[in-house]
Amino acid sequence: MCGRMAVTLPHDAMAQIFAAAPANALPRVPNYNVCPTNDVHIVTGGDDQGQRRLGAMRWGFVPHWYKKPGDGPLLINARAETIAEKPAFRSAAQERRGIIVATGFYEWTKDEDGGRDPWYITRRDGAPLAFAAVWQDWQHPDTGDRLRSCAVVTCAANRPMQVIHHRMPVVLEPKDWPLWLGEAGKGAATLMVPAAEDALTWHRVSRTVNSNRAEGAELIAPV
């Protein structure tokens, strides 16, 4: 599962790391509390000239049959095990894959009293997280307004991560980016697996982040 994330990289750094041309309007950074329905940074595959794009999309996939964005469940995650079968994601998994860029993400455990304790999870090597994602170009049936939206692809958690949660985002390694983006032929389904057991690290953070209105670098400070 992935329900909240943080992004601290400057736009030019993201564009350079992913060899992508940045859009004019990108979500603000740093943002230590990116929530569902917020815009996220997403890299999409090469255009006719082979140029990747770094753009913004709503986090919360809107299937083409929705009459409005809130017409059904908020689809922030897409399960790797069923993504090729679910009507909402089937076409996107084949044709519209992207990479959501993040610095870290949050997960929660419960204490003995039922309180929710947040954990901040990053790559152990300090590199940005590249989440496998699928996206949709949705059009309002009456007004014609368009909205691009996306979902994080998730898989079963690797062994260390199971201490916190039984699911985790699919974290792509740089060598796999071309295949996931459709630049290197077929076989992207083979990438939807848990991250290596030594890939991620985490620490407890303040329950302040339990509020979707919380802001500031202190949200990711260890406690």
Segment 143-173, tens digit of pLDDT: 888 999 999 999 999 999 999 999 999 999 9
Helix, strand, coil percentages (3-state) for the chain, rounded to 5, are 15, 35, 45
Question: Rounded distance, CA 54 to CA 218, Å?
Answer: 27
Q: Is the pLDDT of residue 1 over 80?
A: no
Mean pLDDT for all residues in the chain = 96
Residue 181's pLDDT band (cuts 50, 70, 90): very high
The predicted pLDDT at position 121 comes to 98
Q: Is the pLDDT of residue 59 over 90?
A: yes
Residue 134's pLDDT band (cuts 50, 70, 90): very high
The DSSP bridge partners found for residue 97 are 134
Residue 217's pLDDT band (cuts 50, 70, 90): very high
SS3 of residue 104 by DSSP:
strand
Q: Is the pLDDT of residue 46 over 80?
A: no
The predicted pLDDT at position 142 comes to 85
The predicted pLDDT at position 144 comes to 86
The predicted pLDDT at position 49 comes to 75
- CATH (domain of 127): 3.90.1680.10
What average pLDDT score do residues 211-218 get?
Answer: 97
Q: Give CB contacts under 8 A, 24+ apart, made by 171-178.
A: 171/123, 171/129, 171/130, 171/131, 171/132, 171/195, 171/199, 171/200, 172/99, 172/130, 172/131, 172/132, 173/130, 174/130, 177/18, 177/43, 177/99, 177/130
Domain residues for 176? 5-220
Question: Rounded distance, CA 5 to CA 103, Å?
Answer: 8
* Tokens, residue 112: 């003995």
Question: Rounded distance, CA 79 to CA 21, Å?
Answer: 29
Q: Structurally, how many domains does the chain consist of?
A: 1
* Tokens, residue 96: 């519209």
Q: Are 177 and 99 in contact (CB under 8 A)?
A: yes
Q: Is the pLDDT of residue 95 over 80?
A: yes
Question: Rounded distance, CA 22 to CA 44, Å?
Answer: 11
Residue 130's pLDDT band (cuts 50, 70, 90): very high
The percentage of the chain sitting over the pLDDT mark of 90, rounded to a whole number, equals 91
Residue 141's pLDDT band (cuts 50, 70, 90): confident
